[in-house]
C-alpha cells in the first residue's frame, strides 16, 4: 500500500502557498529526451517486471523474483550471492535476497527493500491492459508502474550497473524483493525474512518506498519527502450476536442496531494528539513554508500540543489530522442471514492506523472503552503484528538524501514526513533496523491511479528517480 499518500498530501498542503510563485519549486518539466543506452537497458528490465503479473489472485511473485535473479546473474552476481525463497504452502509468493559485497567488513550492510506484488487490476475496468507497459504522452501506464515496481526495478538495475562496472563499495549492499505487502493477512515475505532469515537481511539501515515527489499537476515539482517513520496497520473485527427470530415479531435486541450504535461511537472517538521527532519537524518546517492561518497553527501546535485553538484549525485538514494521532475507521459491514429474519450476527471491520509506538492491544482497549457495550466483541484480525518504530532523523542519512536531491530536484524542498499509511518497513523496525522511505518518483495531484485505475508514472520522473537513487546508494555505501 503506497505510502505516496503522504507525498501527495504534503504537496497538497504546500500547493496553495507555492503555486505560481516559484518558491522552492522546480521549473515545468521539459520533454523527455531520447533514452540513453543504459536507460534503454533499464526500460527492458522495468517492462519485464511490470508485465509479470504479481497479483495475489492470479500472479506469481516467485516468477518475478526468478526473472530479476536472472538479470543479476547475467550482470555477474554469483549463485552464492542470490537467495530465492518461498514456502511450500505459498509457492507463488516467493522473493529474492541479493548480496553485493563491500570491501570494509567493519561497516554493517545496508538493505534496499521493495515489494513485487501489486494491487488487483481488472482488464474490463482499465482503458489499457494493466499488465502491458504502454507509453502515452510522456507517461508509462501499467499496474505497478509506481507501486512498487518502479523502486524494485531501480534497485535491481542499480546492482546490475554496479556489477557491470566492477564497482567496489565499502559497505555491503543487500537487496530484498518480497511479496505480500498489498494484502493484509496474506503470506508476507518481509515478515518471513524478519522471523526466519534475519541473517540474510540484517543491516545498519533500510532504504524503502514511502518517500517521493508531488507536482502541481502542470509539470512543476513542488516537494520531495523523506519518510521517517510510519503508522502500523491493524484491522479489528467488531461483532454483535443475537438469537434472531422471525422478522414479523421484532424485539429491542437487534444485532444490526447494536453494531450500528457501536460504529457511531467509533466514528465520534478521537485518539489523543501525539508528536514524534519527525512529525514535529514536519509541522514546523511545512508550517513555515505554507504560511497563513493553517501554517501558523501547525507551528503553534508543534511548540505546544495542548494548544486547542491551533488544533481546531489544523484538524480541518484530513492529512494533518491523521498525522497527529492514531485513527480508526469503519470500512466494511456484513450483517444478517435472510431478508425475512432478525439478524443473528452483525460484523464490521474497523481499520486502524496506529501512531508509532502504540500497540494493537492499546488500540483495542481504547475501542472497547469508547464502545462501552459488553454485547460487542472487538477482536484483532491479524495477531502479533509488530509495533511501528520511528527511526531517528540521522544526519548520516538525511545529509546525503538532501545533498543529492539538490542535484536532481533543484530548488525543491525535501521534507521529513511520517506516513499515515504503512509499508513492510514495520517488520524491519521491529528488529531495530531503521527504515527510511527515500525520495523517488514524483506523482501528480490525482495520485496517478496508484491502487486505482490506469496507474501511470511520468517517464521523466522514473528516469530521474533512477539516477538519483543510484547516486544515493553509492553515497551511503561509501
328-352 residue pLDDT tens: 999 999 999 999 999 999 999 999 9
Residue 2: predicted pLDDT = 43
How far is residue 84's CA from residue 98's CA, in Å, rounded to a whole number?
Answer: 9
Q: Residue 259's closest CA among 353, 362, 344?
A: 344
Positive or negative CA dihedral for 306, 308, 309, 313? Answer: positive
In this prediction, residues 270-295 reach a mean pLDDT of 94
Band (184; pLDDT cuts 50, 70, 90): confident
pTM value?
A: 0.89
In this model, does residue 139 exceed pLDDT 90?
Answer: yes
Q: Residue 378's closest CA among 252, 189, 235?
A: 235
More confident of the two residues 12 and 22: 12
CB of 456 within 8 A of CB of 141? yes
Nine cell digits for residue 383: 495477531
Give Cα 154 distance to the centre of its chain. 16
Residue percentage of the chain with pLDDT more than 90: 88
The four Cα atoms 381, 385, 390, 391 give a dihedral, to 10 degrees, of -150
Q: Give the number of C-alpha atoms closer than 13 A to the C-alpha of residue 39, restricted to the C-beta side.
A: 14
In this model, does residue 4 exceed pLDDT 80?
Answer: no
CB of 427 within 8 A of CB of 116? no
β-pair partners for 136: 139
Query: Hunting for cell 506469481 — which residue is that?
Result: 60
In this model, does residue 3 exceed pLDDT 60?
Answer: no
In this prediction, residues 344-364 reach a mean pLDDT of 96
Q: Residue 389's closest CA among 368, 418, 369?
A: 418
In this model, does residue 107 exceed pLDDT 80?
Answer: yes
β-pair partners for 328: 352
Residue 98: predicted pLDDT = 98
In this prediction, residues 155-169 reach a mean pLDDT of 98
Helix (H) / strand (E) containing 136: strand 134-136
Residue 421: predicted pLDDT = 82
How far is residue 400's CA from residue 207's CA, in Å, rounded to a whole number?
Answer: 13
**In a 3-state reduction of DSSP, which class is residue 84?**
strand
Band (389; pLDDT cuts 50, 70, 90): confident
Nine cell digits for residue 77: 552476481
For CATH 3.40.630.10, list the domain ranges present in the chain: 4-230+388-476
In this model, does residue 1 exceed pLDDT 70?
Answer: no
Mean pLDDT, the chain, whole residue set: 93
Task: Tell me how many helices (H) and strands (E) the chain has.
Answer: 15, 19
Q: Residue 477's closest CA among 208, 203, 68, 190?
A: 203
In this model, does residue 206 exceed pLDDT 90?
Answer: yes
For CATH 3.30.70.360, list the domain ranges present in the chain: 232-272+325-380
In this prediction, residues 324-329 reach a mean pLDDT of 98
Give Cα 157 distance to the centre of its chain. 21
Nine cell digits for residue 222: 513542488
Residue 12: predicted pLDDT = 58
How far is residue 476's CA from residue 471's CA, in Å, rounded to a whole number?
Answer: 9
Q: What's the CATH class of domain 4-230+388-476?
A: alpha beta
Give Cα 257 distance to the centre of its chain. 36
Q: Return the axis-axis angle of helices 292-303 and 277-290, rounded to nearest 10°.
A: 150
Residue 295: predicted pLDDT = 96
How far is residue 263's CA from residue 109's CA, in Å, rounded to a whole number?
Answer: 47
DSSP states of 439-473 as a string?
Answer: ---EE-TTGGGTTSSS-EEEHHHHHHHHHHHHHHH
Q: Which strands, in side-by-side order, build the sheet including 345-354?
A: 327-335, 345-354, 232-241, 376-380
Residue 396: predicted pLDDT = 97
In this model, does residue 300 exceed pLDDT 90?
Answer: yes
Of 148-157, 248-257, 421-430, the one with minimum mean pLDDT is 421-430
In this prediction, residues 418-431 reach a mean pLDDT of 91
**In a 3-state reduction of DSSP, which class is residue 56?**
coil
In this prediction, residues 41-62 reach a mean pLDDT of 98
CA distances from 281 to 83, 284, 288, 437 (A): 39, 5, 11, 16
CB of 113 within 8 A of CB of 207? yes
Helix (H) / strand (E) containing 47: helix 37-50
Q: What's the CATH class of domain 232-272+325-380?
A: alpha beta
Helix (H) / strand (E) containing 338: none
Q: Before 54, cis peptide (omega within 30)? A: no
Rounded to a whole number, what is the largest CA-CA distance in the chain?
80
DSSP state of 124: G
Residue 14: predicted pLDDT = 56
The four Cα atoms 57, 62, 65, 69 give a dihedral, to 10 degrees, of -160
DSSP state of 316: T
Band (186; pLDDT cuts 50, 70, 90): confident
Amino acid at each position: 500500500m503506497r505510502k505516496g499518500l503522504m507525498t501527495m498530501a504534503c504537496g497538497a498542503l504546500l500547493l496553495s502557498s507555492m503555486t505560481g510563485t516559484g518558491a522552492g519549486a522546480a521549473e515545468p518539466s521539459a520533454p523527455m529526451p531520447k533514452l540513453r543506452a543504459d536507460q534503454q537497458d533499464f526500460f527492458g528490465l522495468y517492462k519485464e517486471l511490470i508485465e509479470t503479473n504479481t497479483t495475489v489472485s492470479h500472479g506469481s511473485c516467485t516468477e518475478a523474483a526468478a526473472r530479476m535473479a536472472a538479470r543479476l546473474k547475467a550482470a555477474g552476481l554469483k549463485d552464492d550471492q542470490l537467495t530465492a525463497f518461498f514456502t511450500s504452502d505459498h509457492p507463488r509468493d516467493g522473493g529474492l535476497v541479493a548480496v553485493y559485497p563491500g570491501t570494509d567488513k567493519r561497516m554493517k550492510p545496508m538493505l534496499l527493500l521493495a515489494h513485487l506484488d501489486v494491487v488487483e487490476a481488472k482488464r474490463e475496468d482499465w482503458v489499457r491492459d494493466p499488465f502491458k507497459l504502454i507509453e502515452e504522452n510522456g507517461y508509462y501506464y501499467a499496474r505497478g508502474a509506481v507501486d512498487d515496481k518502479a523502486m524494485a526495478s531501480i534497485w535491481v538495475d542499480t546492482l546490475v550497473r554496479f556489477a557491470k562496472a566492477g564497482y567496489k563499495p565499502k559497505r555491503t549492499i543487500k537487496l530484498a524483493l518480497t511479496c505480500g505487502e498489498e494484502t493484509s493477512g496474506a503470506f508476507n515475505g518481509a515478515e518471513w525474512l524478519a522471523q526466519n532469515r534475519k541473517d540474510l537481511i540484517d543491516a545498519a539501515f533500510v532504504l524503502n518506498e514511502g518517500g517521493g515527489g508531488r507536482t502541481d499537476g502542470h509539470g512543476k515539482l513542488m516537494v520531495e519527502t523523506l519518510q521517517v517513520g510510519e503508522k502500523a496497520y491493524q484491522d479489528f473485527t467488531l461483532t454483535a450476536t443475537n438469537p434472531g427470530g422471525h422478522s414479523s415479531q421484532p424485539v429491542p435486541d437487534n444485532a444490526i442496531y447494536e453494531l450500528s450504535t457501536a460504529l457511531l461511537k467509533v466514528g465520534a472517538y478521537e485518539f489523543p494528539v501525539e508528536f514524534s521527532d519527525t512529525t514535529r519537524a514536519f509541522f514546523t518546517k511545512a508550517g513555515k513554508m505554507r504560511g497563513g492561518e493553517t501554517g501558523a497553527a501547525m507551528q503553534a501546535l508543534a511548540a505546544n500540543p495542548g494548544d486547542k485553538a491551533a488544533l481546531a484549525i489544523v484538524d480541518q485538514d484530513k492529512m494533518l489530522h491523521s498525522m497527529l494521532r492514531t485513527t480508526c475507521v469503519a470500512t466494511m459491514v456484513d450483517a444478517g442471514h435472510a431478508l425475512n429474519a432478525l439478524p443473528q450476527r452483525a460484523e464490521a471491520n474497523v481499520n486502524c492506523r496506529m501512531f508509532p509506538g502504540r500497540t494493537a492491544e492499546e488500540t483495542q482497549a481504547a475501542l472497547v472503552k469508547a464502545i462501552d457495550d459488553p454485547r460487542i466483541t472487538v477482536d484483532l484480525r491479524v495477531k502479533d503484528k509488530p509495533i511501528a518504530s520511528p527511526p531517528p532523523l540521522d544526519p548520516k542519512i538525511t545529509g546525503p538524501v538532501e545533498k543529492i536531491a539538490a542535484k536532481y530536484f533543484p530548488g525543491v524542498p525535501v521534507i521529513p514526513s511520517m506516513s499515515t499509511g504503512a509499508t513492510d518497513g514495520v517488520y524491519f523496525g521491529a528488529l531495530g533496523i531503521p527504515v527510511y522511505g527515500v525520495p523517488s518518483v514524483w506523482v501528480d495531484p490525482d495520485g496517478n491511479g496508484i491502487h486505482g485505475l490506469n496507474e501511470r508514472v511520468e517517464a521523466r520522473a522514473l528516469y530521474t528517480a533512477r539516477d538519483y537513487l543510484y547516486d544515493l546508494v553509492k553515497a551511503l555505501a561509501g
